[in-house]
Amino acid sequence: MDYDAVIVGGGHNGLVAAAYLARAGQSVLVLERRAEIGGAAVSFRAFPGVDVRLSRYSYLVSLLPKRIAAELGLDLQLRRRRMSSYTPAGETGLLVDTGDEERTGASFRAVSGSTKDYQAWHRFYASAARVAEATFRSLTEPLPTSAELRRRIGDDEAWATFFECPAGKRCASCSRTTSCAESCSPTR
Ligand SMILES: Cc1cc2nc3c(=O)[nH]c(=O)nc-3n(C[C@H](O)[C@H](O)[C@H](O)COP(=O)(O)OP(=O)(O)OC[C@H]3O[C@@H](n4cnc5c(N)ncnc54)[C@H](O)[C@@H]3O)c2cc1C
């Protein structure tokens, strides 16, 4: 049989593309090598005998635009969780409680011994939120050029941090990793 489109991989991107094509009147074949569809965006029973499903990878549905859910008529309810994360650190742990700033700040202080990391984390997340706001709509529109995206973000420091060298840059002479803006002056 002939198809207008064949999609290899039934992860959520493949399924969304297939659904849009089918709704546009195209005949579509989705080929999935696993026994189930959904790719990384599925939950599964990780522990034999325990009837609890855990997320395989995409534990947060942060990248599914509401527009896609609405256009495809998905019966989907997303809930915000209050506890953003808990990261064990030695005998204690770092708790990020989005409903209690003071508790989060206290947790940073308990783990790092000062307020410096908490302030830096706040600055970083505020910057990430501005970048996300300026770029999210690019998920459902033709891909903008990097120059256009940079213009939308309008913040050179954020552009450098998230796009130019997100993992920092490595100094050629001493191998130290520094932030994008910082310049390394090796001491010998
Ligand atoms: C550790 C981790 C955590 C993540 N957390 C999040 C998160 O919290 N929130 C979020 O939005 N995103 C998260 N992501 C990203 C998210 O998982 C991916 O963006 C998303 O799964 C991509 O979807 P996809 O359909 O392109 O690919 P996939 O989900 O990888 O699906 C690809 C599918 O193609 C199939 N396939 C591959 N090759 C073939 C072949 N040759 N023939 C047939 N079938 C094939 C695979 O079996 C699979 O089902 C995370 C990713 C990782 C790795």
Protein residue with its CA nearest to atom 45 in ligand 1:
9
CATH superfamily placement of domain 1-79: FAD/NAD(P)-binding domain (3.50.50.60)
The pLDDT of residue 1 is 87
Q: How far is the CA of 139 from the centre of ligand 1 (A)?
A: 16
For the chain, domain boundaries = 1-79
Distance 43 CA to ligand 1 centre (A): 12
User: What pLDDT sits at residue 188?
Assistant: 47
Distance 60 CA to ligand 1 centre (A): 13
Measured by CA distance, the residue closest to atom 50 of ligand 1 is 58
pLDDT at 132: 95
> Residue 87's pLDDT is what?
96
Which residue, judged by its Cα, is nearest atom 27 of ligand 1?
Answer: 11
Tens digits of pLDDT across the chain (188 residues): 899 999 999 999 999 999 999 999 999 999 999 999 999 989 889 899 999 998 888 778 788 899 999 999 999 888 888 999 999 999 999 999 999 999 999 999 999 999 999 999 999 999 999 999 999 999 999 999 999 999 999 999 899 889 888 777 777 777 777 766 676 666 54
Q: Is residue 93 within 8 Å of 87, Cβ to Cβ?
A: yes
Residues flanking ligand 1, CB < 6 Å:
8-14, 31-34, 39-41, 57-60, 62-63
Going by alpha carbons, the residue nearest to atom 36 of ligand 1 is 9
Residue from 31, 57, 84 whose mutation best tests the ligand 1 pocket (most atoms within 8 A of CB) = 57
